[in-house]
Structure 1
Amino acid sequence: MFKGRHVTAYARLQNSIGGRVIFRQHEQSNYTTIYSDLFYMAPGSQQRASYKWYFFHPTSRTESATMCRSLKTRYQPRNRVENLPMLPVGNLPYDAREAWVEPNIWLTGTNNIIGKWIGIVDENDEVIACSFIQTYTHKTAQVNFDGDGAYGYVRFEQDSPYDPTILQVNFNDLNDRASAYHIHVYPVPQRISLNDQCSNDEISGHWNPFQVKKSESPPPGNGTNDQYEVGDLSGKFGKLNGRDSFSEVYWDWNLPLFEEYSIIGRSFVVHRTDGSRWFCANVNYPEDTVILMAKFWYPVLGYMMLRQSKSDAMSDTSIYFELDYSDGSGPTTDHVWKIAERRSTDWNDKDSARRCSSTGNVFNPFNLRLDGQYNETCTRERGFHCAVGDTTKRLGGIQIRSGAKRQPAKKTFMTTTFLPLHGPYSVEGTSVVIFDTNRQNRLACATIYRHWPYQATMPHLIDSKTQLQGKITFTQETEFDAPMVSMNMDGLNNGINSWAIYSNPAVEDSHQSCSKTALSSIWNPFSIPPESLPSVGQGSPSQYPMGDMSGKFGYFEDRGKDRRKMRDYNLCLYGPASVMERAMAVSYDYKNLKGCGNFSFDYSKAERWEARIDLWGSIYGYVQMWQYVYGDGHTTETWVYIDVHSKEGHMTNNHEWKIFSNPIWEQQFNDNDTKAYNTMDSGEGHNNRQNQMEDEWRANTEEAVQRACSRVGKLYNPFDVNTNNGYGECDVSNQERCAVGDLSAKHETYNLGENGFFYVDKNLPLFGEWSVYGRSFVFFSENQGEKMMTCADINPLKQPYVEMSYWRTKPFDKVDLINDIAKALKTEAWHLSIEHLPIQHKCRVLKLYFLGDTEYNPLRWKVKFQKILSQRDKSLGDFYPDYCSSS
């Protein structure tokens, strides 16, 4: 009996003939086993037949229609591969399967066929079908976990779908607290709140694709692999009861890392001895992946995520959905979904008969015939017989909305063998379409775009009192992956021993940038109590506040420099708990901060868009928002910093803050009025006059605020989220279920008198048609009152603009003005925004901003508008400025 491994290779055909040919050779043998299952891709047109076939040197052509014809040079090592058995081809998959052993074909050595092409020829020796020959790449997937001081890993290895999976299990410090352990259906989501990530709502039950009845499985450790659920690891190998530290190696013939039933991307759970779920983690991907995303906004909310190895466009692709209804409708199942050939531009069409018609037909890069017997031959069991985008027939339907209170979005996780995310047949730039279950109309659609990992870098320190140099970088692929922490620091002298991430960002132009007052406390989104913390560097990362980096990884200890890379399983760059854009500060003992800097988004592939809201009246302060926009138009989350105070020093709680559809009418307050309050005399001899002035100021302010806020319109809700039925589902962990403008529901109400607060918003666009630019921000009275205390427009920052002035007596409406200018420029209104400067005597002064990414080139539109202004062609509209004087 041979010892060692097999080499397994395959050729996947998708031309006039489809199917695959598998080659398998033991590394110590000269014989190769060949298995073929080939069929006509246009069923019914031909009878079963057998064909000659050869090996060819590689071709550089990638187009499916021409690559086979470009194969000319046969590969003939030692002239021993000429007399190969004929390959049978049937009408349907499994009709013409064949297997044999071949002594003249090798997968190892200098004369191997790896990297060559297989070509099937007709009677004239013309190549009619072909495919590249490649090996199955050995896969190593790993779970790393920690919780309550316990830690360890499970490593899974498999050479090909035809080999067993080898498990290396390593647990530490269990202290007789663990029992069963399993693979579960869905990946562990990023933690947002105190809710249990490992709950059934989040990750479901055991991975059991073959529907094994657990009650019929033998006792743990007594049966064969196939007698247990695929994911029931402790059933196959025994439980962990009574264990502390434990290490073992197992073989499993029923735990695939390849193809449809793969465990990669799913979750791993360890249970307590009482059966409850203790901790969980994800089975990571074996190598770097290409990640594509599609986001749904109407009438379906949620997203699809696709992942595939960067090195092989023919490798497995995992598909993950989370879907809900924007109107809170009940759950629906078995929706047909497809990949369509074009981008989605009409996903928000209210007419369901027209919605998503822009996406075109099913994505079919190999030009398969979709008529005749296609509907009968394209099935889940015969996926090679389907167009690439005909995903429902290949993989099954999807569900929308679970109905569970804690996890209303319904999850679906699949793995498929042929859905390329890169290369000539990539689905990037196409769209995913979901059909309704009644009339099979197109219900919802979304463009599929490239997702780039988040990277946060602290490039320099602000207000530093140290010799510290270098940078720290955090990188996270998706919310399902643990971030990598990379440190490259010098100057770690005896004055610096600890580092931590704080709740707020540091404001560079502030004299208190690095004060604890400005930065607030160490970032602790899951409220870990200080009294429960292990000693520094002695516990597992999950036992410390997220921002306590020295607690998790130890003090610097005067080491001078630090060159480390480590995974942090209690850190995130996505979502409300993210450390992105927050401040990091260094100190000796957490007390006296010696410098700080922000972990800023590394936007080498994206443009930064910013907005600012300056509040006026009895409430002063500002709100700043920023977001990053990629070249294809998709965006990151939006970061929001709000720092608002009462001019009279009031400390009141639970103020709602929201965005409304229209701009404010007109800011009646001018600079002189605003300054009046600050110059009031507070001396004892002027109490009566002081009180009178305060009363007058309040009355004037109240009148001005109510007038300015009178036309803000409705709560900004561009995606028609139902704010009545089931709106309680809107919260920090489910922001897509909220109206865009409902900031206090997405985050929390605001307490006046406290420091500023920092938030991450997944549903607050600054870029595009649904941008909040030019709309109004409203701050309400305490205890969730309905009285508007102040309002202001949301204005762009760092965008090109033209300043214009009009007589104050001239009738004026911002929305009408923008629409008139957009019409004259022949562009969309969302590319323009108006900032209304404070009234100056008889003049109204405006800034007209031009908005767009690099491709749109807003500077070009500014120049065009300036040319229109110089021509003063009144036929274009009544928007020409008066150039009045404010004196």
Structure 2
Amino acid sequence: MIGRSLVIHGPDEAARRIACANITLLRFPLAQTGSWQGSGSSEGNIHFLQLSPQGPTHIHVSLTCLDDKAGGYHIHLLPIKSGLEACSNENVKGHFNPFGVNISTSPTPGNGTVDQYEIGDISGKFGSLVNQNQFENHYRDSNMPLSGPNSIIGRSLVIHYRNGSRMQCADITAVNSLDGQWIVAKAIFNGPVKGTVTLSQQCFPDGSFSDVTLLVDLIASSAVNVTKASWYITENPVNELVAECPKNGAIYNPFNMSAQSSNCSPLTYLACEVGDLTSKHGSVILTQRQLFTDAQLQLAGDYTVVYRALVLKAGNMILDCAAIIPVSPSAQQVFPSVTSFSRYDFRKRVAEVLGVQISRVSILPGALSTKAGGKCQQVRFLVSGDMSSKKLSAVKDSEMMGMYRQAEWCMKSGAPGFHPTHGETVHVLSLAAVYLLRFLTVHWTAQ
């Protein structure tokens, strides 16, 4: 039945079809430690595999050159950020402990059930690395998810010395699936709030996708004097990067869920509006980095959040906003206006030019915006995975694009043509300048 669809009907068999969905493969999350950093010299890696969302995670530990120096090892809150001391508390913070387990009440290492320890306390659950030079073992942990809001993917693992100080650390990264392609997007804030929110997701040929990891690195200026904010993604697409935040932008809600429903929570995210990040993850802190995992957001397909706005609010006041722009390969195609536009046909033609599967091509919000006084139309699209600029630029003039082939007279009419948008550099610089003026105005007013 893989590759077929499931349809939900009304109470009467003859009633209309209420909803349908494709049946796709369940891909098992797999993660591993990356390159080690820090003062130690140990080598090896730790692998994590979860065969079902509610099943246990299999942990395979294979470490060498520990030199009898290691003690405990744990998963910490954040990934390693360059420019800071790799394994420091300032960088990766403390143990990953979303349920607030009081470690003083945890049993001695290796003598309790996994739910009696912090999620990230591997050595507490299964024993430490004391007196080890080479160490290899396999564990099953029913309290270490690789998906959902408490996923360990995207965080880091720290090996401690016997005295508790930090010896080495490494990021925990998702292992690339053979048929998976990554998409990365970023919201860049340059106003009263500065920093980035980076979104990443692995997408697959059958239209399924992994969770989205959101790495938040935002700092509020002293002019706004706030330490946290609610956050959401807007319904309306962003046609261009603009300085003005949406005043009445509705939360992105493609599945018509009840606004701010009492049923919406981090564990019942399917009852939430897709763009309601506050209800799913809580407020975002504007003084330090944070990492979230969202199983509902999509960066590819018809429900992509790329080119929508990410808004920060304090109470009823909008603090700042930024467009979610693609870091992955993307472009825009300008062609003479057509009476009937087929999203499937456009994607199919782009995929044929690039020599990739159609699933790798997504049309971004705001498609068919008009140019040249309505005589031309513009479509922005994104390609998951790696793609050279040379190949991407071949799309505009390829005869395989048919009615969607870029027309020279559209260009002469002042309509923009193909522009690779790896980060939208020019737009971001323009936005930064406007935001700087806005910030200075706020600052001077506060004096």
Please classify the TM superposition score into its range, dividing by the shorter chain length: 0.7 to 0.9
Partner of 2:363: 831
Structure-2 separation of matches of 1:796 and 1:525: 30
Counterpart in 1 of 2:395?
A: 864
Asked whether the equivalents of residues 57 and 141 of structure 2 are also in contact (C-alpha less than 8 Å), the reply is yes
8 A contact 2:30–2:175 mirrored in 1: yes
Matched residue type, 1:491: C
What is the rounded CA distance, in whole Å, between the counterparts of 1:454 and 1:493 in structure 2? 32
Cα distance change on mapping 1:481 and 1:625 into 2, 3 Å: same
Change (3 A) 1:818 1:642: farther
Shift of 1:616: 1.5
2:19 is aligned, of 432, 444, 461, to 444
Whole-Å separation in 1 of the counterparts to 2:42 and 2:318: 47
Give TM-score, length-normalised by structure 2: 0.77
2: CA distance between counterparts of 1:532 and 1:820? 68
Letter in 1 for 2:33: M
Bigger radius of gyration: 1
- Report deviation, 1:604: 2.7
Q: Measure the CA separation in 1 of the matches of 2:236 and 2:110.
A: 52
Give the distance between the partners of 2:101 and 2:118, measured in 1 at CA: 6
Measured after TM superposition, the shift of residue 850 of structure 1 is: 3.9
Where does the alignment leave 5 or more consecutive residues of structure 2 unmatched?
348-360, 367-378, 399-403, 420-425, 430-447
Structure 1 residue 481, shift from structure 2 partner: 1.2
Are the structure 2 counterparts of residues 520 and 854 from structure 1 closer, same or farther at C-alpha, using a change threshold of 3 Å?
closer
The answer on 1:517 being equivalent to 2:90 is yes
- Aligned mate of 1:743, from 267, 277, 280: 277
Once the two structures are TM-superposed, the CA of residue 580 in structure 1 deviates from its matched residue by 1.5
Shift of 1:793: 0.6
Aligned to 2:250: 714
Q: Which letter does structure 1 place at the counterpart of 2:322?
A: A
Distance 1:625 1:589, change over 3 A: farther
Q: In structure 1, give the amino acid aligned to 2:346.
A: T
Residue 664 of structure 1, CA deviation: 4.9
Alpha-carbon shift at residue 576 of structure 1 (Å): 0.8
Report if the CA contact (8 A) 1:772-1:794 is conserved. Answer: yes
Aligned equivalent of 1:659: 233
State which of 98, 101, 108 in structure 2 corresponds to 1:535.
108
Within-5 A mapping of 1:668-707? none
AA at the equivalent of 2:316: E
Task: Report SS of the residue matched to 1:611.
Answer: strand
- Select the residue among 209, 216, 237 that pairs with 1:642: 216
Instruction: Describe how 1:219-618 pairs up with structure 2 within 5 A.
Output: 427-438=1-12, 439-461=14-36, 463-507=37-81, 509-589=82-162, 591-605=164-178, 606-618=180-192
Evaluate the alpha carbon distance shift between residue 455 and residue 818 of structure 1 in structure 2; reply closer, same or farther with a 3 A threshold.
farther
Q: C-alpha distance in 1, partners of 2:247/2:408?
A: 31
Matched, 1:797 2:316: no
Q: How many residues of Structure 1 are paired with residues of Structure 2 in the alignment?
A: 387
Contact 1:800–1:859 under 8 Å retained in 2:
no
Inter-CA distance 565–767: structure 2 relative to 1 (3 Å threshold): same
In structure 2, C-alpha distance between the alignment counterparts of 1:650 and 1:870, rounded to whole Å: 46
Conserved in 2, the CA contact under 8 Å of 1:580 and 1:599? Answer: yes
* Alignment check: 8 A CA contact 1:765 1:772 kept: yes
Q: What's the offset of the Cα at 1:518?
A: 2.3
Which of 290, 297, 303 is the aligned partner of 1:764? 297
In the aligned structure 2, how far is the partner of 1:875 from the partner of 1:824? 23
Change over 3 Å in CA distance of 1:563–1:788 after alignment to 2: same
- Once the two structures are TM-superposed, the CA of residue 531 in structure 1 deviates from its matched residue by 1.9
> What percent of counterpart residues are identical?
23
The answer to whether the 8 A contact 1:730-1:746 is kept is: yes
Partners in 2 of 1:716 and 1:800 — Cα distance?
A: 22
Please give the alpha-carbon distance, in whole angstroms, between the structure 2 residues aligned to 1:579 and 1:599: 7
1:788 and 1:650 map into 2 onto residues whose CA distance is: 11
Letter in 1 for 2:304: S
Query: How many Å apart are 1:654 and its aligned residue?
Result: 4.8
Mark the CA change 1:644 to 1:857 in structure 2 (over 3 Å): closer, same or farther.
closer
Cα offset, 1:861, TM superposition: 5.1
Rounded to whole Å, the distance in 1 between the matches of 2:204 and 2:238 is 31
Structure 1 residues 567 and 864, CA gap change in structure 2 (3 angstroms): same
**Which residue identity lines up with residue 874 of structure 1 in the other structure?**
C
The separation in 2 between residues aligned to 1:875 and 1:645, in whole angstroms, is: 41
3-state secondary structure, aligned to 2:176: coil
Q: Give the aligned residue type for 2:294.
A: D
Are the equivalent residues in 1 in contact too, given 2:77–2:94 (CA < 8 A)?
Answer: yes
> 1-side partners of 2:80 and 2:20: how far apart?
40
1:475/1:590 Cα in 2 relative to 1: closer, same or farther (>3 Å)? farther
CA distance in 2, matches of 1:640, 1:774: 16
Distance verdict in 2 for CA 1:824–1:779, change over 3 Å: same
Whole-angstrom CA distance in 2 between matches of 1:511 and 1:875: 47
CA distance in 2, matches of 1:876, 1:771: 32
Is 1:775 aligned to 2:308, yes or no? yes
Aligned to 2:187, the other structure's residue is in SS state strand
- Distance in 1, matches of 2:185 and 2:411, equals 33
Asked if 1:879 is matched to 2:415, the reply is yes
Q: Give the C-alpha shift of residue 633 in structure 1.
A: 1.9
The verdict on how the C-alpha distance between 1:824 and 1:736 changes in structure 2, with shifts beyond 3 A counting, is closer
Cα offset for 1:539? Answer: 2.5
Counterpart CA distance in 2 for 1:590 and 1:882 is 58
* 1:469 to partner: Cα distance: 1.1
Give the partner amino acid of 2:211. Answer: E
Distance 1:442 1:833, change over 3 A: closer
CA distance in 2, matches of 1:574, 1:601: 11
Amino acid of the structure 1 residue aligned with 2:393: K
Q: Which residue of 2 aligns with 1:851?
A: 382
CA contact under 8 A between 1:614 and 1:792: conserved in structure 2? yes
Alignment of 1:729 with 2:263, yes or no, is: yes
**Residue aligned with 1:744, SS:** helix
Which letter does structure 2 place at the counterpart of 1:743? L
What is the CA distance between 1:634 and its match in structure 2?
A: 0.7
The alpha-carbon distance between structure 1 residues 858 and 824, as it changes in their structure 2 partners (threshold 3 A), is farther
Q: Displacement of 1:745 after TM fit?
A: 1.0
Q: String of CA shifts for 1:486-525, please: whole Å, max 9, x gaps.
A: 1121111233222100112223x33244221222220112
Question: What is the rounded CA distance, in whole Å, between the counterparts of 2:269 and 2:140 in structure 1?
Answer: 28
Distance 2:212 2:195 in 1: 20
Query: Which secondary structure state, in structure 2, belongs to the residue aligned with residue 766 of structure 1?
Result: coil
Structure-2 separation of matches of 1:875 and 1:757: 43
CA distance in 2, matches of 1:649, 1:489: 49
Q: Does structure 2 conserve the Cα–Cα contact (< 8 Å) formed by 1:850 and 1:862?
A: no
Q: What's the CA shift for 1:875?
A: 9.3
Tell me the alpha carbon deviations over residues 190-229 of structure 1, each in whole angstroms, 9 at most, x when there is no partner: xxxxxxxxxxxxxxxxxxxxxxxxxxxxxxxxxxxxxxxx
In structure 2, how many angstroms separate the alpha carbons of the residues matched to 1:499 and 1:489? 12
Residues of 1 paired with 2:149 and 2:50: CA distance? Answer: 15
SS of 1:578 mapped into structure 2: coil
Give the counterpart letter for 1:880 in structure 2: P
How big is the shift at 1:455? 0.7
- Residue 820 of structure 1 and its aligned partner are, at CA, apart by 6.7
SS class of match (2:262): helix
